[in-house]
Amino acid sequence: MPVKSQTELVQFYADWCGPCQAMKPIVAELEKELGDKIKVTRVNIDEDPGEAQKYNVMSIPTFLIKKEGGVKAQLMGMQTKNALKKKLVG
């Protein structure tokens, strides 16, 4: 039986970004709730600008939802926990 690939939530942020900091506990809750169903990767745009450029991240916070090796959704700005969860498991 083929192994289902894990969904990845990539969060682009910066330490100086207020909305990014506000999203931290929401992402942590999702990570805890969804356990091994998702992988969370955080990308600090100040430390890794090349990764942000690769995905044309123009504002933060930005979230990428990657499934089966490709980007399935890109969400910009503050998100509710339910909106992110729906995109991740929906």
* Residues catalogued as catalytic: 17, 20
Helix, strand or coil, per DSSP, at residue 33:
helix
Judge whether 61 and 12 are in contact, CB under 8 Å: yes
Q: What is the maximum span of the chain, computed from C-alpha positions, in angstroms?
A: 45
3-state class percentages of the chain: helix first, strand second, coil last, to nearest 5: 40, 30, 30
